[in-house]
Amino acid sequence: MLTEKPVSEERPSGAADALDDLICFFDGRYVPQREARVPLMTHAFLYGTAVFEGIRAYWNEEQGQLYGVRIREHVERIRRSCRIMLMEPTPSVDELTEEILEVVRRNGFRQDIYIRPSFYKSTPTIGVRLHHLEFSHYIVAIPYGDYIETEAGCRVMTSSWRRNVDEAIPARGKIVGGYVNMAFQKSEAELNGFDEAIVLTADGHASEASAANLFVVRDGVLITPPVTDDILEGITRLAVLEMAGREGIPTEVRSIDRSELYIADEIFLCGTGVQVSPVVEVDHRAVGSGRVGPVARRIRDGYFDAVRGRRPEYRHWLTPIYETR
């Protein structure tokens, strides 16, 4: 479970300097993070007019290889987010993918990492709009572990904050300003002693977690909300659906009532950050037996084997980042 740490324990001594030493892509160059600075008046900083992706890469010690997970799919999605935010033209999928790989290679990571490319409105100006603004992009990569507990399962609550609807801030775009909505949900959950929040749509259906897609198991069927229920079109969500199909687990894409969460046999969350995280309690009610269930365990364990290059049938998800000899 998540535990709150004193501020002094959040970052070990020297961690800030270590991050500053890491190489990033910024303003068309590969530079140490300490050299990547934007003016205070940058439009994206003032108004949240930016988009981003979160990409994981997993280290396999036995193979001496770092595997990027579904990098091209993430690149395709950030380019779609840019289109929504009037940021075109963007680098091609091949160009942006190569920039991402080069950032990782220049840092020589031998551990699990998180990669964050972002496009942002770079014009220094006051004024709320999307048009007639310049934009730029950057790529950072940092060592990264678990976002929430994945082994024993997590506890969640239904948030009082509703999911932003497509006609307000499109959930299918990873728009930086829209993540304030998730921040309300996540803080509400953690400050009330839970690990994560389940968010409802405007009409009361379960949409997703604060920053993760949702799966429910009922009578052996794996159920997930449709994209029309204001969810992010999750790349890990698609990976789970693919894995379920290969494993012979029946799946269904449909809306989920809040009360279904209380009678579900199993629940788990998935996403680049949370990976595959089983839920053992929702709104003070045990999910199933109150322990990680067999379907969630099977998907979780299979996913972690797949992203570390141990499942040949899922190698098409992976990009080996380092040359092998």
As annotated, the active-site residues are 174
Residue 115 β-bridge partners = 55, 141
CA distance 226 to 171: 12
CA distance 153 to 277: 6
**Whether the Cβ atoms of residue 102 and residue 30 lie closer than 8 Å to each other:** yes
List of E strands, the chain: 23-26, 29-32, 50-52, 55-60, 65-69, 113-121, 135-143, 154-158, 196-200, 205-209, 213-218, 221-224, 251-253, 256-257, 266-271, 275-282, 285-286, 318-320
Q: What φ, ψ does residue 211 adopt, rounded to 5°?
A: -150, 45
CB contact burial 108-136 (16+ within 10 A = b; e otherwise)? ebeebbbbbbbbbbbbeeeeeeeeebebb
- Structural element, H or E, at residue 227: none
CA distance 186 to 253: 25
